[in-house]
Structure 1
Amino acid sequence: MINRSEWLEDLQKNVSELISKSPAADIERNVKAFMGQAFNRMDLVTREEFDTYKLMLERALARVAALETRLQALEGRQTPVPQESDPSAKEGSQS
């Protein structure tokens, strides 16, 4: 008597052979090729590329935030620079 796992393996083998000999295999290959071409035209990225870009963006945003904080601290220490529209700034620059 055939045990259960051997019977399932035989069934799977028979179904695989049947599908490979039928038009379903051709249809599957054609659909895969069509979908591959469609995805290539869409300029999609892989999950790995997406995760890499996401990490790079997070690092860049953290650096921008740190630089903004540092700039605010530096601006707080300096005396204000006169603007060109300020009449006293024009007089000082003409001498």
Structure 2
Amino acid sequence: MLDLFNTNLADDKSLKQLAKIVNTTERTLMRRAIKSLGMSLMEWKLRLRVVKATAMLNQGFSVERTALELGYSSSSAFISMFRKLMGVTPGEFRHQRKA
């Protein structure tokens, strides 16, 4: 199930769709995620996206390309999420890594 996220972070399946894929209920899927991950599936996916984003930014990908490859509709939505989880914008992150 978690492999679905690893292989395609841009896929925005709903919790209902994910539950159907793994043949369980939404509630059961939520409980299992909290128990095994310590967070919701959506929170885990956000964190996974940040990990992938930092790797892409370190490799020299642009903020816009990174955002689009991770499934964000705009670079501003990506920047907002990145700042919320990392405390800095992607540009600031890249600058800090070079310093």
The TM-score range, normalised by the shorter chain, is under 0.3
Q: Tell me the TM-score normalized by structure 1.
A: 0.27
Q: Tell me the TM-score normalized by structure 2.
A: 0.26
Q: Which has the higher contact order (CA 8 A, sep 6+)?
A: 2
The structure whose residues are more often helix, as a share, is 1
Larger radius of gyration: 1
